[in-house]
């Protein structure tokens, strides 16, 4: 597998990457570039987000295509090692050992990250656990922690050593609203200068955090651009009305009693400014409604 050439601005790039599990095609010729800052991956369950992140985190190898991270090809032994030395990875399901305390777990991962000197390592473990707000419970067994706390333990281990590449698979899943806000703040301070790739189902996380967003649908990239550009896909396609319009692709009653619609608007519709979620729904709805074997060409907006 050859490294993608001409990667200058983008720290991480994939070109024509495919991955199959038996008869299931998880990724089908994915092209994407990710530069410094926070890059979001949006898509429904089964779209291939986790597979793409696992490939970028060197946990899986692509069946075909090229992967480049900081000018290195992670499909080779040396390349994989070089990438792992600059990587922090939060898997979708971390799979904690039930005997470990939060401290033990993060310490264990720190050893695997070549932090051999104990005192320095323990200082770093305390630092990252304090960053995610777990200083008071760091010696509790992970099995005794809540789901949100376990997620934060996972985030803490990914932050060890301030990695240049942070790959976070649904980091905000299971976090309450306050914790999600704290995570956003934390990412802003801890990932300065780094390339962050995060997958999420929370479009407001994308709007708040990401400079760049990629939408994956059925294993293919369907959008690549800024969150503003993604929201703009729904320009003129979002409106409010007193009654539900059956011709809309999607409609729901908002808190103030009006019905918010996404789809082809009727004449004299009361248009509203679209959000990232609206843009995503338009994109996903368009793909869902075509239902054809030939997908729409990917939308690329820089």
Nearest approach in angstroms of CB 62 to other proteins is: 11
Nearest approach in angstroms of CB 102 to other proteins is: 11
Looking at the Cβ atoms of 105 and 280, the one nearer to other proteins is: 105
Binding residues (CB under 8 A) for other proteins: these are 21, 54, 57-61, 77, 80-81, 84-85, 87, 89-91, 93-97, 99-101, 103-105, 107-109, 111-114, 116, 118-119, 122-123, 125-126, 138-139, 154, 157-158, 167
Looking at the Cβ atoms of 99 and 244, the one nearer to other proteins is: 99
Nearest approach in angstroms of CB 40 to other proteins is: 20
Nearest approach in angstroms of CB 117 to other proteins is: 9
Angle at alpha carbon of residue 290, lines to 287 and 296, rounded to 5° = 55
Nearest approach in angstroms of CB 60 to other proteins is: 6
User: Which residue is listed with tokens 């996404």?
Assistant: 262
Distance set, CA 268 to CA 25, 240, 271 (Å): 43, 11, 9
Looking at the Cβ atoms of 21 and 252, the one nearer to other proteins is: 21
**How many whole angstroms separate alpha carbon 274 and alpha carbon 158?**
34
Looking at the Cβ atoms of 93 and 256, the one nearer to other proteins is: 93
Looking at the Cβ atoms of 50 and 172, the one nearer to other proteins is: 50
Nearest approach in angstroms of CB 121 to other proteins is: 8
**How many whole angstroms separate alpha carbon 114 and alpha carbon 29?**
34
Looking at the Cβ atoms of 87 and 196, the one nearer to other proteins is: 87
């Amino acid at each position: 597998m050859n490294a993608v050439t001409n990667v200058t601005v983008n720290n991480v790039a994939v070109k024509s990457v495919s991955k199959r599990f038996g008869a299931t095609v998880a990724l089908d010729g994915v092209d994407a570039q990710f530069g410094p800052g926070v890059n979001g991956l949006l898509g429904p369950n089964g779209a291939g987000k986790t597979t793409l992140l696992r490939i970028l985190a060197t946990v899986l190898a692509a069946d075909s295509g090229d992967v480049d991270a900081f000018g290195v090809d992670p499909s080779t032994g040396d390349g994989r090692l070089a990438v792992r030395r600059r990587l922090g990875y939060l898997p979708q399901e971390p799979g904690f050992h039930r005997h470990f305390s939060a401290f033990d777990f993060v310490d264990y991962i720190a050893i695997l990250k070549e932090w051999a000197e104990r005192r320095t390592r323990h200082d770093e473990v305390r630092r990252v656990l304090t960053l995610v707000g777990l200083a008071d419970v760091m010696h509790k067994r992970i099995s005794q922690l809540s789901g949100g706390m376990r997620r934060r333990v996972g985030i803490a281990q990914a932050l060890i050593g301030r990695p240049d590449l942070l790959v976070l698979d649904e980091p905000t899943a299971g976090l309450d609203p306050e914790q999600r806000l704290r995570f956003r703040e934390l990412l802003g301070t801890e990932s300065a200068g780094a390339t962050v790739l995060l997958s999420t189902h929370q479009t407001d996380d994308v709007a708040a955090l990401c400079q760049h967003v990629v939408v994956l649908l059925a294993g293919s990239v369907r959008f690549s651009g800024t969150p503003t550009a993604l929201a703009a896909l729904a320009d003129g396609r979002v409106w409010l009305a007193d009654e539900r319009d059956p011709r809309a692709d999607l409609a729901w009653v908002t808190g103030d009693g009006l019905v918010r619609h996404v789809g082809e608007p009727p004449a004299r519709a009361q248009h509203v400014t679209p959000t990232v979620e609206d843009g995503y729904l338009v994109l996903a709805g368009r793909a869902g409604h075509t239902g054809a074997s030939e997908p729409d060409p990917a939308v690329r907006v820089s």
